[in-house]
Amino acid sequence: MWSALVLLVVSADPALGPVLRQDGFQMKPPKSFRMARMDLFHGTQVGTISVSPSASRYLSAALVDGEGEDAASLLISVIDATLSLGPSSRDELSTAVVRHLRDELGQPFQLERAEVTNGRVEVLGSVRQGSQLRRILVAAWPGESRHIVAVCSAPSGRWEAMAPVLSDSFDSMKVEPVSSGRLPQRLLWAFAALVAALLLISVGLWRRRQAARQSA
């Protein structure tokens, strides 16, 4: 009994917090992170990195481990686009990270590495905010018609201690497959356009009939 209890304690990871379940995914963030106020991010695209610029995307969760310049942040987004693992997705994600930080946030990104590892695509680099150098790690998990992207930002002086915990946190990510009954976004828009067109046609036919009756 005692040996089983010791094994349970040893196997548990005290560096990770409780499971975060939201928008079809679940993961254990680092224990020091807490949910931030989502209204601080309303109206922005910060952290919503997509290899498909036209894809629908939104920020699902924002976590921080403190306040001030030394705080680290973890942003998790849902992207309505397909992502597969492979060299092409690695190159596409690294390009998307550079584009997002440079064009949308005005922060030139210095790429250090991009790779496929442990069932996800990772891009690591850095940005300079004033006098502070911050490390940026972006991870994307594959998915059909929808995938999850996480972005962690931390001061370079804290990165060496944070990196192993963040890797364990990303390893805990589980993404629920999209239900086969859910139509892709493109089909939904096409269906809406078709319904609108049929409505206009029916209104036009009704007006013609009314005009024909009045002229008879």
The residues, any chain, with a CB within 8 Å of residue 145's CB and separated by 6 or more, are 80, 81, 82, 178, 182, 184, 185
* Structural domain contains residue 55: yes
* Structural domain contains residue 190: yes
The type of residue at 93 is L
* Structural domain contains residue 5: no
What count of Cα atoms within 13 Å lies in the side-chain half-sphere of residue 130?
A: 3
Identify the DSSP state of 16. Answer: B
* Structural domain contains residue 4: no
Full-model pTM: 0.75
Mean pLDDT for the stretch of residues 75-80: 92
Query: Residue 149 in contact with residue 139, Cβ under 8 Å?
Result: yes
Q: By three-state DSSP, how is residue 158 classified?
A: helix
**Same domain for 110 and 198?**
no
pLDDT confidence tier of residue 165, bands split at 50, 70 and 90: very high
Pairwise CA distance, residues 118 & 195, whole Å: 44
Query: Residue 47 in contact with residue 59, Cβ under 8 Å?
Result: yes
**Same domain for 159 and 213?**
no
Instruction: Please state the domain count of the chain.
Output: 2
Question: Would you say residue 76 has pLDDT above 50?
Answer: yes
The per-residue pLDDT for 211 is 66
Question: Would you say residue 1 has pLDDT above 80?
Answer: no
**Same domain for 133 and 51?**
yes
Full residue range of the structural domain in which residue 210 is found: 183-216
**Same domain for 213 and 117?**
no
Mean pLDDT for the stretch of residues 60-84: 91
pLDDT tens profile 87-128:
899 999 999 999 988 888 888 999 999 999 999 999 999 999
**Same domain for 157 and 122?**
yes
The per-residue pLDDT for 193 is 64
The per-residue pLDDT for 4 is 41
Q: Minimal CA–CA distance to 172: which of 107, 120, 105?
A: 120
Name residue 123's beta-bridge partners.
114, 138
The type of residue at 72 is A
**Same domain for 71 and 158?**
yes
* Structural domain contains residue 41: yes
**Same domain for 148 and 195?**
no
CATH number of the domain where residue 30 is located: 3.40.1000.10
